[in-house]
Each structure stands twice: as C-alpha cells, then as structure tokens.
Amino acid sequence: MLEGREGPAIARAMDLLVRYGEALGAERLVDTNNVCGTIGATTPLLRDFAAKRGGFDAVFSEFNLDSDEVVPTPKVRAYSCHLQLGIDPLHAEQLGTAPEVVTLLRRGEDFVSKMGVQLMNTCTPYLVGNIPVKGEHCAWMESSAIIYINSVLGARTNAEGRESAGASMITGKTPYWGYHLDDYRYGTHLVEIDTPLEDIADWGLLGYWIGDIVQDRIPVLTGVTRAPNLGKLKHFGAAASSSGGVEMYHIVGVTPEARTVEEAFGPRKPVERLHFGAAERRAAYATINAMAHDTKVDYVMLGCPHYSIEQIWEACRLLEGRKVHAESNLWIFTPRAIRHLADQNGYTRIIEEAGGFLMSDTCSAMSRATPKGTRVAAVDSVKQAHYLPSILGIQAWFGTTAECIDAAVTGRWSGGLR
C-alpha cells in the first residue's frame, strides 16, 4: 500500500497512518472494519477550499490525506460512517443557511455516498445501526461517541481526527496503540458515589465533575445502585469528555470490562480515590450554571448528544398539548434516521404543533446557529451548556428536560437543584 501498488490515494493514506503510528510509538497497524469520521465540506473554510480547488477530491486529498496534490478518491475499504455536519438541509431557513450552501451539501452527500460511506450524519452512530461489539477495533472521531463505544460497548478506539479517520476508511488499518491495547484500558481513579443518581441530569453533573478532575484518565465508578440506561450513559460520557478528555470509564457491575473493581483496575492501583456526594453534586451544578443569570429564555435546545427515540418520546410527553412561548424557541436535534421514526410515530407533529422544530444532522454548537436574537438558552445537556457560552457568547442554563420544556413554554427559567 505504501509503495503505491494500490493507487496514489491509498499510498498517501498509508504514509499518513505510518507517520502517525511512528509518532505514537505504535508497533504495528491493526485491521479495522469500523470507521466514523467526516469528509464533507460544510464549514466556510472547507466550502471556500472546495470552490477554489475544484471540488471534493481536492478536499479529501488536502484535509483527509494530508496531500497537496489532488488524487482521485477511492471507495472505502472499511465499513465507514459519516458523523454530524454543520447543516440540516431540511431546516436551512431556521438555521440561516443560504440555498447555495445546501446545494453544495447535497453534492457533498453524493460524493460521500459514492465513496461507500454511510450518511448517518450524527454524533451518535450507535443509535442508528453502528453498534460495535466488545473487542472490535474501530477508528472513530467525536468525543461523546468514542467514550460511549469504549466504555459501554467494550469496543476499542482512540480519538481519531479527520485525517486519520479518512485514511483508515480507505485502507482498513489504524495504528495499534492506546485504547486498542489492554494495558491502556485499566482504571486510574476510583470514584465512590454515595448520592442517588435519579435522572439524566444527575448523570451529566457526575460526568462533568469527574472529567474536570481526572482529565484524560480512566475513572472507575462504584456505588451505582441502579443500572443507568442508554440516555444516562450517553449524557455522562459526553459531560466527562467536555470538562476533561475522558475517553473511557468503568462502572463496576455495569460496563463490560468492570465486573469487579479488580477487573476494572487490572494490574494497576488507583492513583486517587474520589468521593461524589451531595456537596460535589451541588458544586458541579453551580459551576455549569455559573454563566447564566437572566431568567428570560429565548431558546431551548435539546438533543446533545443527539436524542434517542426514547428521549424524543419523553420530550413529547412533556410537551404535548402545550405551546412554545411567543418570545422563545424550541429546537430538538436527533440523527436523520431517528427523525424518520419520529415522523412515523407522530412526534414531529407534536413538536411542530407546539411551535418547535425537530432537526437532524447538526446542533447549535456545530452549526453555530441559534434562533435570531438569542441571548439566553436553556439546555438539558452539560456538554452544550459548557460550549454554547464560549462558542456563541450567550448565556446557558442547564437543567432537566422537564425544566427545559417548562422554560420553552413559559419563556422563563425556573429550574433549580432539587
């Protein structure tokens, strides 16, 4: 491959992977048949580049293969999925996306699908059919997805970038280092929980608090008395990978590599013992809400990471028969495939009749888009509450889904820690 026998794009991809692996001290490459990354050109920089250099082969060469020379893009060798984008073509008007940008997006989708990449367009491919199994070697981007598949599914991935994921798609190889190896996957910090974790919001607060302390190391949680469901684990991981760079965690008795504390730590001893009780929960809540002070809420955003169908169902149960306040807005984000399911189940109609929108493919942090004039947002995602103030310069309240729906209906924030 490196010598070019399989064409110039494969040679460049292999050169990139070899340089990457050598920089990290990887002994070899490993086969992968599960890659999630981005290829398209939905940001202004990439759109300009595609226009000036004549199209998507140029974008793939430069931004996925690290090649100045434009080489023809081959079909993928590994099962590959596209992550979220910056645009929802069906809600271009609400997001303020120009028609010519939607046209370019459609051309990009054509390019991506001709390569053989699945157009999942979500940060949660594991919700829509890409569910790697325990031990499966993957090459995924997207911090909230990486932590989910490593921890909850027992799959093996490092946090890839656009370049390495693109190179893995067309070669079916990734450097054999980091989370592909048993030694990297053992716990480092013991976290004893002794406060009830009732809802998704509680799991977000726990994740935010842990990530801030352990940064990029591996927490092992004990004292979890009720097994969390998918939505809680999804939110916990996204929070821990926002305040820190956590890419893997263990919950003793819940996650697949932690049947016991001993299994979770393997040959290691905990470097630190942490305790999460009522005071730590209060502290995490205060930190995440520190940027918000105005109670008039212009915008409620739900669906970070993208909502599951169960979460849409729950939001609809809270919303049905009510109306979004005239001076507020409600946008909910989900994978494109789940939006089809929501259409079929009547949930899209419930949301739209209330005055909200069910969108896909993107989110406010990715698209940099909020309803016009937004100063204050309310979100049920710690990750979004962490990023929106810094990305868009707005205030963001964090609370439960019910508090957020109430804020959308009343136009006011009245949430608080129970």
Distance from C-alpha of 161 to C-alpha of 181, rounded to nearest angstrom: 19
Distance from C-alpha of 141 to C-alpha of 139, rounded to nearest angstrom: 7
One-character DSSP codes across 236-265: HHHHHHHHS-----EETTTSTT-SSHHHHH
Cβ 2 to ligand F3S, closest distance in Å? 34
Q: Where are the alpha helices (DSSP H) in 91-229?
A: 92-95, 99-115, 143-151, 162-171, 200-214
Contact characters 217-246, ligand F3S, x per CB under 6 A = ---------------------x--------
Distance from C-alpha of 117 to C-alpha of 37, rounded to nearest angstrom: 9
Q: Contacts with ligand F3S in 347-386 (CB under 6 A)?
A: 363, 365-366, 383-384
Distance from C-alpha of 42 to C-alpha of 23, rounded to nearest angstrom: 30
Which of 176, 177, 242 shows the shortest CA–CA distance to 206? Answer: 242
Cβ 189 to ligand F3S, closest distance in Å? 24
Smaller CB separation from ligand F3S, 65 or 201: 201
Cβ 228 to ligand F3S, closest distance in Å? 18
Q: Contacts with ligand F3S in 201-220 (CB under 6 A)?
A: none
Smaller CB separation from ligand F3S, 74 or 305: 305
Smaller CB separation from ligand F3S, 219 or 305: 305
Smaller CB separation from ligand F3S, 71 or 238: 238
What phi and psi values does residue 174 have, to the nearest 5 degrees? -150, 150
Pairing of strands 357-360, 330-334: parallel
Smaller CB separation from ligand F3S, 185 or 383: 383
Q: Which of 61, 84, 130, 374 binds ligand F3S (CB under 6 A)?
A: 84
3-state secondary structure of 48: helix
32, HSE (Cβ side, Cα atoms, 13 Å): 34
Give the interface size with ligand F3S as a residue count (CB under 6 A): 13
Smaller CB separation from ligand F3S, 12 or 383: 383
Q: Is 305 in the site for ligand F3S (CB under 6 A)?
A: yes
Query: Are the C-beta atoms of residues 130 and 81 closer than 8 Å to each other?
Result: yes
70, HSE (Cβ side, Cα atoms, 13 Å): 10
Q: Which of 232, 250, 306, 386 binds ligand F3S (CB under 6 A)?
A: 306
Cβ 206 to ligand F3S, closest distance in Å? 17
Q: Contacts with ligand F3S in 89-148 (CB under 6 A)?
A: 123, 144
**Which part of the chain contacts ligand F3S (CB under 6 A), choosing from 36-44, 161-169, 224-232, 299-307?**
299-307
Which residues of the chain form contacts with ligand F3S (CB under 6 A)?
84, 123, 144, 238, 304-306, 333, 363, 365-366, 383-384
